[in-house]
Structure 1
Amino acid sequence: MASLKEVRNRIVSVNSTQQITKAMKMVAAAKLRRAQDNIIQMRPYAQKLNEMLLTVSAGSESSVDSPLKAVRPVERVLIVVVTSDRGLCGAFNTNIIKATLQLIENKYAAQAKKGQVEIFTIGKKGAESFARRGFKVHGQFTDTYSRLSFVTVKEAAEEIMKGYTNGTFDAVELVFNEFKNVATQIIHTDPYLPIVAEDTASSAKKPEVNYSFEPTEEEILTELIPKSLKIQLYRAVLESNASEQGARMTAMDKATENAQELLKELKLIYNRTRQAAITTEILEIVGGAEALKN
């Protein structure tokens, strides 16, 4: 049985840990509110921009030749992985890394054997994990969330588009967590490049509309396609940021509950040990008194 001092030290340690997890939960809750507001405001804009791109593409009479729409045989693959910069958020990063490895195994196993699958990471945890696994990390944006803005994410999107345009990669996939609620994050593995035209079967159901373009169709799509890709990546980062704070809030809440349960057990052990020590002392005093009488 542990001594009273050892149990007392453990109680102090667990109590300090519980205070830290409570504080981290409160900080995550405050950050979650801001992150949730940002993603709620961004979703309608991103969806409308994507609809506009599809509408203009469907209504155009001629096909605009964009290097971002060029479909090539898939030899070299870039996977954009959005993780967090810090841990203590449960299985948030682990699930993203597992989903990425599963995507490579199921879809790009042949390219992976040739060493032609590269990782582009947004978030320090993803960069560290894939570097340890021997993957070539093409680009990494760390400390993104400390200065999260469209300008910062736009630089990453431009670098990805540049790699596809100059033929460094033949396909780009995007893996991220979509925020649903505090306890639930939905993992997405979405094709990012090339831009695939809308399914003809679904577009055939839409009524035929004649569009007049001002400025020209080419100018509109040339401007709209890169902007849509930047917004798509920015939305993924905002979704991941909100998901991270939700996962951290949940993890810290569970840690606080576990610390409370552990404190109850330690206090019970402490009381039992203290009672045993007092009983032993009483027995020694009684034994000593009896010896003096004799």
Structure 2
Amino acid sequence: MASLKEVRGRIVSVSSTQQITKAMKMVSAAKLRRAQDNIMRMRPYAQRLSGILANLSSQTEGSVNNIYSERRDVNNVLIIAVTSDRGLAGAFNANIVKSVVALIERKYSSQAAAGNVTVLTIGKKGLDAFKKKNMPVIDEYSTVFTNLSFDNVRPAAERAMNGFAAREYDQVDLVYNEFKNVATQVVRQEQFLPLEEIPVEATDKATMLVDYTFEPSKEQIIEELIPKSLKIQVYKAVLESNASEHGARMTAMDKATENAGELLKELKLTYNRTRQAAITKEILEIVGGAEALAAK
């Protein structure tokens, strides 16, 4: 059985940990509100932009004649993996890494064997994980969460777009956590490039009913809208991941605080039992000594 000093030390240690996890939960809750507001404002904008693009595309024979729509044999692949800069968020980052690995095994095993699969990491945790797996990594954009804004995310999107346009990559996929609620984050795997044709019925009906007057031509407007839409898509994924991170950390810290409370109960019970046993032993020694003296 552990000594009283050891048990007291563990009680102090667990109490300190519980205070830290409780504080981290409160910090994540405050950050989550702001991150949730940001993604809730972004979603209607991204949806309406996609609707406008689908409307214009449908009026130009249902397809977009654009470099970003070009389909070719997939020899070189880029995967944009959105993780976080910090841990202590449960399986938040591990799920992204596992999803990327599973995606490669399922779709790009031959390209990976040839060393033609590259990962563009957004978030330090993803960078560390993929480097440990000895995968080709683009790491210039792994710190965008330090100052999260559209201007800081845009270069990552442009790198992927320029790489595709220059035929450096034949396909670009996007993997991130989509925010559902505080307790639920869903890993999404989306084809970023080449552009998939947007079904008219899948877009905002209100947008589709609008009759636009175009200046300049529809085709030129589409060519300008597509790059903007692609950058917005990456920024939206990063905002989704940011909200998901705070939700996951808030849930993880709440569970850690509860577990620390349960452990404290067990340690205090152990402490009381150990203390009682020590007192009982001392009493027995005193009684035994008194009897021995009386016998003399």
- TM-score in terms of structure 2 length: 0.93
Deviation for aligned residue 1:61: 5.2
Give the corresponding residue for 1:274.
275
Corresponding residue number in structure 2 for 1:165: 165
Residue 236 (structure 2) aligns with: 235
Return the alpha-carbon distance in structure 1 between the equivalents of residues 139 and 288 of structure 2: 77
**1:73-112 equivalences in 2 (<5 Å):** 73-112=73-112
- Do the aligned partners of 2:54 and 2:200 also contact (CA within 8 Å) in 1? no
Q: CA deviation at 1:60?
A: 2.0
Whether the 8 Å contact between 1:35 and 1:241 is mirrored in structure 2 is yes
Is 1:291 aligned with 2:258?
no
Query: Aligned partners of 1:51, 1:265: CA distance in 2, in Å?
Result: 58
Change (3 A) 1:39 1:198: closer
1:163/1:10 Cα in 2 relative to 1: closer, same or farther (>3 Å)?
same
- Matched residue, 1:20: 20
Stretches of structure 1 that go unaligned for 5 or more consecutive residues are: none
Is the aligned partner of 1:195 residue 2:195?
yes
The CA deviation string for residues 122-148 of structure 1, in whole angstroms up to 9 with x for no partner, is 001111111111110034422211200
Gap change, CA 1:70 and 1:128, over 3 Å in 2: same
| Separation of aligned partners in 2, 1:265 and 1:113 | 51
CA gap of 1:44–1:202, structure 2 versus 1, over 3 A, is closer
Partner of 1:2: 2
Where do 5+ consecutive residues of structure 2 fail to align? none
Q: Give the 3 Å change call, closer, same or farther, for CA 212–61 of structure 1 in structure 2.
A: farther
> In 2 relative to 1, CA 202–7 (structure 1 residues): closer, same or farther, beyond 3 Å?
closer
2:119 is paired with a residue of what secondary structure?
A: strand
Deviation at 1:25, TM superposition (A): 0.3
Aligned length: 291
**8 Å Cα contact 1:32/1:245 also seen in 2:** yes
Partner of 1:252: 253
**What is the CA-CA distance between 1:179 and the residue it aligns to?**
0.2
CA distances 1:45-83 after superposition (whole Å, capped 9, x unpaired): 001101111111111259654221211111100000000
Inter-partner Cα distance in structure 1 for 2:145 and 2:251:
19
> How big is the shift at 1:210?
7.8
The DSSP-based 3-state class of the residue aligned with 1:186 is: strand
Cα deviation digits, residues 80-136 of structure 1 (max 9, x gap)? 000011100000011111111111111111111111111011001111111111110
TM-score with structure 1 length normalisation?
Answer: 0.94
Q: What is the 5 A alignment of 1:108-257? A: 108-198=108-198, 212-257=213-258
Find the counterpart in structure 2 of residue 42 from structure 1. 42
Cα distance in 2 for partners of 1:13, 1:202 equals: 54
Residue 178 of structure 1 aligns to a residue whose secondary structure is strand
1:208 to partner: Cα distance: 10
Greater shift in the superposed pair: 190-199 or 177-186: 190-199
SS at match of 1:221: helix
Asked whether the equivalents of residues 123 and 140 of structure 1 are also in contact (C-alpha less than 8 Å), the reply is no
Q: Root-mean-square deviation (CA), in Å?
A: 2.0
Residues 83 and 176 in structure 1, CA contact (< 8 A), matched pair in contact too = yes
Q: Deviation at 1:160? A: 1.1
Q: Secondary structure at the match of 2:269?
A: helix
Identity of aligned residues (%): 62
Distance 1:272 1:217 in 2: 81
